[in-house]
Amino acid sequence: MATEVQTISAPVKKNGTSTVARVFRYTAVRAITLFITVVIAIYMTILIANMGGYVDQMMRGQVTEQINMAMAANPAYKSMSPDTRKQLAQQQIDLEIERLGLNKPLAVRTANYLINAITLNLGRAQNMVSDTGSKNVKNILLERMPWTLLLLGISELLLFFVSLFLALSLSRQYGSFWDKLVIALTPTSSAPAWFYGIFLILIFAAWIRILPFGGLVSAPPPKTTLLYALSLLQHMILPALSLFLSGLFLNIYSWRTFFLIYSSEDYVDMAKAKGLTGGDIEKRYILRPTLPTIITTFALTLIGVWGGAIVTETIFQWPGLGNMLYKAIGLYDTPVIVGDTIIYAYLLAITVFVLDFVYVLVDPRVKLGEGV
């Protein structure tokens, strides 16, 4: 999406139109396209979260069963005649179905979800409750967000900068032992983070017993802030490490190859012939042309943090957004699923939108909305 600057541009008259008009037009078209993309994607997510009405039937059945069970178990209703009891149950079922919005047709309901989602009116969860007892989707999301940002933020940023730095130094000494080692280790990145997580738990928690199996802090939670932070850090080591390790070698390898391709350009040879130092060549002739790609990857890494890591968080019982989403799906909680997705979609769309302008700033060759 991000590299599509040229193909999506509006038709531009070569003569007569000013730069301002061109930029304005491009901006408007781009914003509208992105918005439509988000709307369609969100509507698809809503439909999938409903399985085209299939989930509604399940929920209706669930509601009926729950209320009938509750009625049968309650001694207060024992004295009533079966008819009144049935009537009362039906009333409660109808009420609950109305509360969940199940009495409206699918099209109306999904349209409502869509409008609410687009306007960021996240609404109330159907079954999920936040730890503080709130049913507001916003509260549920906000409660989990810091932990995901902490875990994913640290591990992903570390992964990004460490692999970038190592790749740059490897591209300088290409063919060396370390370079070959990284190439040899790259296939290990085919395993997902949770897979590394299981091995790390086995080694550090079960076998050596120096780190906890999972969770956020030790129980009972430490009283002082400092101890709490230390306990949090201790619990974070293994999940962060597994996220870090699973991406490390592939990232280093791809950056290294990327830098190598750019350092075999003629202008780099020219710079070498001029006698510039290695550091200068790197900064001016290798890093600069690759800057748009580095920025794009960095921005996409940052957004990726929002999604959390579903399986890794579940394996480590880390109370983050990924874990929450998994639970929400298990509870058929469409508002929470949609709320989580819409925020991701908006973040992605905004980033892609902003990136177009960033490219212009860092790369003088790129002009907004101008076909090459």
Partner 1 sequence: MNTVKNSLKDISRYPSAIAGVIIIFLLVLLSIYAVISIPYDKAITMWRGGEEFWKANPKFAPPAWSNLFTSKKLPESFHVDTADGTMSKVVTSTGDDTSNVTISYSFNFEADDYPQDLIIYFTTTFEQKQPFASVSLFTPTGQEIRVADTGVAQQQTLRFSQESRMVNRYSNVPVMTGMFSDPKDPPHAPLKGTYKLVITGTTFEKDSTFDAEFVFLGQVYGLAGTDMSRRDLMIPLLWGAPVALGFGLLASLGTLILTMIIAAIGAWYGGWVDSLIQRITEINLVLPFLPILIMVGTFFSRSIWIIMGTAVLLNIFTGQIKSYRAIFMQVRESMYIEAARAYGASDLRIIFRYLVPRMIPLLLPGLVSAVPSFVFLEATLAVLGLGDPVLPTWGKVIDDAYTNGALYKGYYYWILEPAVLLMITGLGFSMLGFALDRIFNPKLREM
CB of 353: closest distance to partner 1 in angstroms?
Answer: 12
CB of 51: closest distance to partner 1 in angstroms?
Answer: 4
- Residue 53 in contact with partner 1, rule: CB under 8 A: no
| Among candidate residues 371, 366, 302, 353, the one with its CA nearest the CA of residue 37 | 353
Q: How far apart are alpha carbons 269 and 27 in whole angstroms?
A: 38
AA letter at 94: D
Q: Give the pair of three-digit tokens for residue 347.
A: 């973040």
- Residue 302 in contact with partner 1, rule: CB under 8 A: no
Which residues, 122 to 161, sit near partner 1 by CB under 8 A? none
- Residue 314 in contact with partner 1, rule: CB under 8 A: yes
- Residue 40 in contact with partner 1, rule: CB under 8 A: yes
CB of 202: closest distance to partner 1 in angstroms?
Answer: 6
Please choose, out of 65-73, 80-88, 158-166, 179-187, the segment that lies near partner 1 by the rule CB under 8 A.
179-187
- Residue 330 in contact with partner 1, rule: CB under 8 A: yes
- Residue 108 in contact with partner 1, rule: CB under 8 A: no
- Residue 213 in contact with partner 1, rule: CB under 8 A: yes
Please choose, out of 76-84, 130-138, 161-169, 333-341, the segment that lies near partner 1 by the rule CB under 8 A.
333-341
Among 23, 29, 55, 162, binds partner 1 (CB under 8 A): 55
Residues 363, 368, 370, 372, Cα dihedral to 10°: 30
Among 54, 76, 132, 219, binds partner 1 (CB under 8 A): 54
Query: Which residues, including other chains, have CB under 8 Å from residue 99's CB and lie 6 or more apart?
Result: none
- Residue 7 in contact with partner 1, rule: CB under 8 A: yes
Total site size for partner 1, rule CB under 8 A? 55
| Among candidate residues 251, 362, 264, the one with its CA nearest the CA of residue 304 | 251
CB of 102: closest distance to partner 1 in angstroms?
Answer: 15
Concatenating the DSSP letter of every residue in 289-315 gives HHHHHHHHHHHHHHHHHHH--HHHHHH
DSSP-derived secondary structure letter, 77? G
Q: Which is nearer to partner 1, 240 or 338 (CB)?
A: 338
Q: How far apart are alpha carbons 365 and 371 in whole angstroms?
A: 12
Three-state secondary structure call for residue 107: helix
- The burial of 200, by beta-carbon neighbours within 10 Å (0-12 exposed, 13-18 middle, 19 or more buried), is given as buried
The CA-CA-CA angle for residues 304, 306, 307, to 5°, reads 75
Chain positions contacting partner 1, by CB under 8 A:
1, 4, 7, 37-38, 40-42, 44-45, 48-49, 51, 54-55, 58, 174, 184, 186-192, 194-195, 198-199, 201-202, 205-207, 213, 257, 260-261, 307, 310-311, 314-315, 325-326, 329-330, 332, 337, 340-341, 344-345, 348-349
